[in-house]
Amino acid sequence: MAKYKIEIDQEQCTGCMACNASCPDNFEMKDDASGMPKAKPKNPDVDELGCAMDAAQVCPVNCIHITEMETGKKLI
Ligand code: SF4
């Protein structure tokens, strides 16, 4: 099991690309079914957070969530 899980609330994501700009290593933009750009984690299950926490902190609508899997603790 990976140490951390990165999730993005697709309903709340505005497609602003801030996470992608802050952390292109782990966030990419993909159009949803209606053609709206939405952020996706390139790898939702990671052992190292790298820049993912920075990206979560710059999200203007706080829709990036990171969970520590061993404890189930929500880090953001
Ligand atoms: S920063 Fe937040 S709102 Fe903006 S694209 Fe990323 S997940 Fe979506």
For residue 52 and ligand 1, the question of a CB distance below 6 A is answered with: no
pTM above 0.85, yes or no: yes
pLDDT score, position 17: 98
CATH topology of domain 4-74: Alpha-Beta Plaits (3.30.70)
**Ligand 1 centroid – CA 64 distance (Å):** 7
* Residue 22 alpha carbon, nearest atom of ligand 1: 1
Q: Cβ distance 68 to 3 under 8 Å?
A: yes
Tokens standing for residue 60: 């203007």
Mutate which of 10, 12, 16 to test ligand 1's pocket (most atoms within 8 Å of Cβ)?
16
Look up residue 4 and give its two tokens. Answer: 């951390």
Residue 21 is predicted with a pLDDT of 98
Domain ranges of the chain: 4-74
From first to last of the 76 residues of the chain, give the pLDDT tens digit. 999 999 999 999 999 999 999 999 999 999 999 999 999 999 999 999 999 999 999 999 999 999 999 999 999 9
Q: Which residues are CB-neighbours of 35 under 8 A, at least 6 positions away?
A: none
